[in-house]
């Protein structure tokens, strides 16, 4: 990216949404990894967009923005990004998270090549969300994605194969999309003679209303039959008597045995880091949304990334796997886990960002 030894370092503006108080979701992990990665090769300045109020969000929906995109669209943010682009002499701009994509217009007006790094494809979220409201709002997401994701002036980076498939179904057909998947967290060791534990876990944050709604639907069913350990207080509150706090300070160990990690989201979005966290922490993945495409080609993937349709399905799978001979099951899991961690190492996962920078600069040269 930097053009070789002795060449002047490129200047990059990284635009991201300002974090909410106490933010700890997957998007924050992506920013914390991606922006320093770019800084290894470029001079990077960061601009955090400021959130808008409820009235402005509603007005933005009336202007044709999908509800999830409305949170940072304001005249003040337009002014701030225009000033930074005008005064910063940037070679390119990275727009992180689709809530920043409406500002592609300002990057184009400034003549600055832009890279869009999407967290979710909202037409896919809406298409896989079972609610009537999601179906009604999907045309807004499709229209937005065709305008922005389909703009040939922008370089596009997605973080999952499912997102790429969703864009194609929305009518965005590009052959130059880059995939920079989320990387796996540090791995907890698991001994070959570890037991299979009848315990389920739910990690991640539940600030997104869709995630809370689907967890409530899951919790409303008959008991799973095993304890469900969770981190987020919101999740514990929803789980009620089935939930138990996952507290490493109280002796919890991810290395104690093979457990079962639950993805209760019925929609395709927000699963990327959670599923990898489960694998790294020695959990079979039981998911309501079909995330199997991300693990295609890995040994034993079908055995350890299971798509379930109900709480009863999840409970039955836990009981079935818990009855299997533990040494053989754990041995196969360790093969799967090793291949998974190799595929999703952060260094190779972030490499497409460098390719995106080169692609964006080449677009400017050929324009």
pTM listed for this prediction = 0.89
Q: What are the domain boundaries of the chain?
A: 10-183+345-366, 196-343
Cα–Cα distance measured from residue 301 to residue 330, given in angstroms and rounded to the nearest whole number: 13
**Is pLDDT of 24 > 80?**
no
Q: Report the C-alpha gap between 279 and 260 in whole angstroms.
A: 9
The yes-or-no verdict on residue 3 having pLDDT over 60 is no
Does residue 153 surpass a pLDDT of 80?
Answer: yes
Top-ranked range on mean pLDDT: pick from 34-38, 62-66, 265-269, 288-292:
34-38
End-to-end CA distance of the chain: 19
What are 170-193's pLDDT values in tens digits? 999 999 999 999 999 999 999 999
Q: What rounded mean pLDDT belongs to the chain?
A: 92
Q: Are 10-183+345-366 and 196-343 in the same CATH fold?
A: yes
Is the pLDDT confidence value at 13 over 70? yes
65: helix, strand or coil: coil
Query: How confident is the model over 80-107, as pLDDT tens digits?
Result: 999 999 999 999 999 999 999 999 999 9
The answer to whether the CB of 300 falls within 8 A of the CB of 335 is yes
DSSP reduced 3-state for 46:
strand
Task: Name the 3-class secondary structure at 185.
Answer: coil
Please give the Cα distance from 15 to 24 (Å, whole number).
18
Q: How would you list the strands of the sheet with 178-179, edge to edge? A: 42-49, 10-17, 92-96, 114-117, 154-158, 178-179
Contact 352, 180 (CB under 8 A): yes
Give the C-alpha separation, 261 to 277, whole Å: 9
Tokens of 60: 């933005």
What's the CA gap between 213 and 208, in Å, rounded?
9
pLDDT tens per residue, range 226-283: 999 999 999 999 999 999 999 887 889 999 999 999 999 988 776 778 899 999 999 9
Instruction: State mean pLDDT over 274-303.
Output: 94
pLDDT band (50, 70, 90) for residue 365: low
The topology under which CATH files domain 10-183+345-366 is: Rossmann fold (3.40.50)
The number of CA neighbours under 13 Å toward the Cβ of 25 is 18
* CATH code, 196-343: 3.40.50
* Choice between 68 and 171, residue whose per-residue pLDDT is larger: 171
| 284 touches 260 (CB < 8 A) | yes
Please tell me the predicted confidence (pLDDT) of residue 34. 97
Q: Hey, how many other C-beta atoms are within 10 angstroms of the C-beta on 158?
A: 24
Place of tokens 């315990």: 199
How much is the pLDDT for 209? 84
Is pLDDT larger for residue 137 or for residue 338? 338
Residue 367: pLDDT above 70?
no
């Amino acid at each position: 990216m930097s053009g070789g030894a002795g060449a002047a370092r490129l200047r990059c503006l990284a635009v991201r949404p300002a974090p909410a108080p106490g933010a700890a979701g997957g998007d924050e992990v992506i920013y914390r990894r991606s922006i320093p990665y770019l800084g290894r090769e470029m001079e990077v300045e960061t601009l955090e967009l400021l959130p808008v109020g409820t009235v402005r969000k509603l007005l933005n929906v009336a202007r044709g923005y999908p509800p999830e995109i409305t949170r940072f669209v304001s005249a003040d943010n337009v002014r701030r990004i225009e000033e930074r682009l005008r005064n910063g002499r940037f070679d390119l701009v990275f727009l992180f998270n689709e809530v920043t994509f409406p500002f592609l217009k300002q990057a184009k007006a400034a003549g600055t090549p832009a890279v869009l790094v999407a967290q979710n494809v909202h037409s896919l979220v809406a298409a896989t969300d079972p609610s009537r409201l999601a179906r009604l709002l999907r045309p807004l997401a499709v229209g937005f994605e065709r305008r922005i994701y389909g703009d040939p002036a922008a370089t596009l980076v997605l973080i999952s194969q499912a997102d790429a498939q969703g864009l194609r179904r929305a009518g965005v057909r590009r052959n130059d999309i880059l995939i920079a998947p989320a990387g796996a967290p540090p791995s907890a060791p698991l001994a070959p003679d570890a037991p299979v534990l009848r315990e389920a876990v739910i990690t991640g944050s539940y600030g997104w209303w869709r995630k809370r709604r689907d967890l409530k639907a899951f919790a409303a069913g008959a008991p799973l039959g095993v304890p469900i350990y969770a981190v987020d207080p919101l999740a514990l509150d929803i789980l009620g008597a089935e939930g138990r706090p996952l507290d490493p300070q109280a002796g919890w160990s991810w290395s104690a045995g093979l457990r079962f990690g639950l993805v209760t989201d019925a929609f395709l979005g927000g699963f990327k880091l959670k599923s990898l966290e489960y694998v790294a922490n020695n959990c079979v993945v039981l998911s309501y949304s079909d995330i199997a495409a991300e693990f295609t080609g890995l040994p034993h993937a079908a055995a350890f990334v299971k798509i379930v349709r109900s709480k009863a399905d999840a409970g039955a799978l836990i009981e079935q796997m818990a009855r299997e001979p533990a040494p053989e099951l754990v041995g196969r899991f360790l093969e799967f886990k090793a291949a998974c961690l190799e595929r999703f190492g952060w260094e190779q996962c972030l490499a497409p960002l460098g390719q995106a920078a080169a692609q964006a600069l080449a677009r400017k040269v050929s324009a």
